[in-house]
Each structure stands twice: as C-alpha cells, then as structure tokens.
Amino acid sequence: MKVSSRLVIAALFVAAFFSIGVHADEHPPAEPAAADTALQSAVAGDWRSEADKARDKYRHPVESLTFWGLAPGMTILEVQPGSGAWWTQILAPYAASTGGSYYATAADLEDPALSEQARESRAEFAAGFAANPALYGQVHLVNWGPRSAPLPKNTFDFILTARSVHGWMRSPGRVEKTFRDFFAALKPGGILALEQHRANPGPQDPQAASGYVTEQFVIEQATKAGFKLAGRSEINANPKDTKDHPFGVWTLPPALRSTAYGSGKDSDPDFDHSKYLAIGESDRMTLKFVKPM
C-alpha cells in the first residue's frame, strides 16, 4: 500500500509539472511585494494626480511593470505617452531614481505637414517635465510619425506601448513598420512591453474600428518582426467587458464617449453611462516580447 501511495503521489507530481509547462507563457499577476521599492515609490508618488491613481485598479502599474521585467538602470522608451502622460508620471521618476534614462516618442518636428497644434502639444509636454528635473531627470523626446526616420538602433532596454496598436492599423503598412522599428531599436535581450484592448478570438477587423485587437494578430505581427513571446498575463483582464459597445471601446471609461466619432457633437447629455461605468475600463491583453540575444 505504501509503495502504491508513493507511485500515485509521484504520478500526480509529474502530471502537475507538465500541466504547468503547457501554460508556461501564462503568468499569474505579479505580487506588489515582488517589485523593487523604487517602482513602488514611483507609483505611490504624491506628484501623481488623484485621477491617475484612481485608474491603478484597472491598469495595475506595479504588477504590470513587474511582470514585464522593468529593472533599475534601464534605458526606457515610452511610445505615444499622450497628453495625460499616465505612464510617464511613473516611468520618468523611476528612471531618474535608479540611474536609468527615459525617452518618449513625440510629434515629428521634421514633418512639414505637422500641425501647429501638434507642435505646441509637444512643447508643452517637454516643458512640463523640464520644470522639475530633480523628480523626472532628463526627459528625452524622439521624433515619431508615419514618415519619421527609424528609431535609434540598439538603444533601449525596455519599450512600452500601451493601447496603441489599433491606431496604427488605420494606416496601411504602419503596424509592420512599427514592430520592425521596435525590434531594431531594442538592444539584444531587450523587452517590448505591450498592453492593448483585447478583441475576442476570431477574424480581425483590419481597421480595428472598435479599438479592440485580437491577441493572435498582435503576436503574429511581433513575431514576424523577429520578437519572441516571453509571456502573457491576465493582470489587466476584465471579464465584464462585452466588447459590443455603441461607440467601441471609447464608450467605456475613461473616455465615456456618447456620440459617434465625427458626428459633429462632443457628447450626448441624455446618454446613460451607468452601464459602462459598472463595466469599468476595457479587457486588455498584457504581453511581453523579447528581442533574442
């Protein structure tokens, strides 16, 4: 009986081992305690607005950056930080406090078609961070746009792109070019950290009009550029997101759109947002890619 019991236990152990191996790329959420103290301090920083901190429950910055493999001293590139600079308020202070460097893509000043508004937005972004070098360090901006020169090669340890893939899909060939540029810009062994509104499995709308993109599409584009998928996580999953909203993903917070894009109206005061506030922010894929050594 004792021998039989040991055999059963051994068999269960082997079965569990191979079960884990099958799902080796599906990582559980990282515990905040696993993150370095500089990251925890950056996320807790009093310079972050209360509105930004209120979104932490949906975006899980400590857990996400820990999963992706952010580490002290890295040279970081944030892609399209946007006017809110949500990630910038974490990444720039983190880089400054750990001996790293922070870069962000910005409107391409070499583009003769660049609007004056875009130039002013870039200047305001730069000025806002330059005003506090003790906190943010030196924030470097690199030209970015459909016609801009490629990113500097073999420069970055960590590239973060958050909820941007759907926008690139509106320009033919831009998705492929962008992933190739990321691959060339990373040092060997460098990390591409990617967050994106996640469509249900199935055919991909080539224009991604709803803002949702399938994991399969993203993984195919990244691997085609040379990346290796190093992990995927459900940290930013939201099973309440039905993905069938009248104004696409922008119906959900934080956008809470209440009219069709291009309708000429900014909002509909009679639109009931309560259903979408109850859902919360979108269901998102959280993927980690690595440039092979």
Tens digit of each residue's pLDDT (9 = 90 or more) over 46-88: 999 999 999 999 999 999 999 999 999 999 999 999 878 999 9
Among 191, 193, 197, 186, smallest CA distance to 160 is for 193
Sheet strands side by side (includes 101-107): 26-27, 228-233, 284-290, 186-197, 156-162, 75-79, 101-107, 139-144
Number of domains, the chain = 1
- Asked if the structure places residue 7 within a domain, the reply is no
For the domain that residue 95 is a member of, what is the CATH number?
A: 3.40.50.150
Tens digit of each residue's pLDDT (9 = 90 or more) over 142-161: 999 888 888 999 999 999 99
b/e sequence 236-255, b meaning 16+ C-beta within 10 Å: bebeebebebebbbbbbbee
Among 223, 232, 240, 220, smallest CA distance to 282 is for 240
- Asked if the structure places residue 183 within a domain, the reply is yes
Tokens of 15: 């079965």
- Asked if the structure places residue 243 within a domain, the reply is yes
- Asked if the structure places residue 224 within a domain, the reply is yes
Tokens of 174: 């831009």
For 278, the domain range is 29-290
- Asked if the structure places residue 156 within a domain, the reply is yes
- Asked if the structure places residue 21 within a domain, the reply is no
Given the DSSP bridges, would you call strands 186-197 and 284-290 parallel, antiparallel or unpaired? antiparallel
Tens digit of each residue's pLDDT (9 = 90 or more) over 21-53: 333 344 444 444 455 899 999 999 999 999 999
The DSSP element (H or E) to which 141 belongs, if any, is strand 139-144
- Asked if the structure places residue 127 within a domain, the reply is yes
Task: Quote the pTM value.
Answer: 0.87
Tens digit of each residue's pLDDT (9 = 90 or more) over 103-123: 999 999 999 999 999 999 999
- pLDDT-derived band at 264, boundaries 50, 70, 90: low
**Cβ distance 81 to 129 under 8 Å?**
no
Tens digit of each residue's pLDDT (9 = 90 or more) over 168-213: 999 999 999 999 999 999 999 999 999 999 999 999 999 999 999 9
- Asked if the structure places residue 2 within a domain, the reply is no
